Amino acid sequence: MNDRKENVVKWGVLALIILSVLAVVPLFIFVGILLGLIILATILLCLGAAVAVHVNMWKKCHYICPSCVTPFKPDFLSSLTAMNYFDQRKMRCPKCGSYQLMRILEDKDSPGRTYYRR
């Protein structure tokens, strides 16, 4: 049941991004092609920058489950769509199934560790 809710949230975020890009189309009609293209380019640039920053963070970081103290590295989409609280993300532990705030650690903080993956 919880996996289904997580999938609904992931698809909801994806739909929101697509709808925000499609919302620019009426701007082409009302404010003109040039200004509409500038606004569309700005939105796409901001989304691209946000994803690029997250890719960089995702490659260099892992998470620690507070319940079972298992370090793990989730897939990119799970990491991108998880709720973010500064240095923590609300995620599901792949080992114990606990759904709570997981601390983000850089990979250099625990060298030589292997991370749990599904």
How do the pLDDT tens digits run along the chain, 118 residues long? 466 666 766 777 777 778 777 776 776 677 777 777 787 788 888 888 888 888 888 888 888 888 888 888 888 888 888 888 878 889 888 888 889 888 888 877 555 555 555 5
The residue ranges of every structural domain in the chain are: 2-109
The residue to which tokens 């749990």 are assigned: 116
pLDDT at 6: 64
Residue pair 9/91 in contact by the 8 Å Cβ criterion: no
pLDDT at 49: 87
pLDDT at 23: 74
pTM, whole model, 2 decimals?
Answer: 0.57
User: In the chain, what are the helix, strand and coil shares in percent, each to the nearest 5?
Assistant: 55, 20, 25
Tokens matching residue 4: 């289904």
pLDDT at 79: 83
- Contacts made by residues 47-55, CB under 8 angstroms, sequence distance 24+: 47/17, 51/80, 54/79, 54/80
pLDDT at 115: 56
pLDDT at 78: 82
H or E element in which residue 48 lies: helix 33-60
pLDDT at 47: 85
Distance CA(37)–CA(56), nearest Å, equals: 28
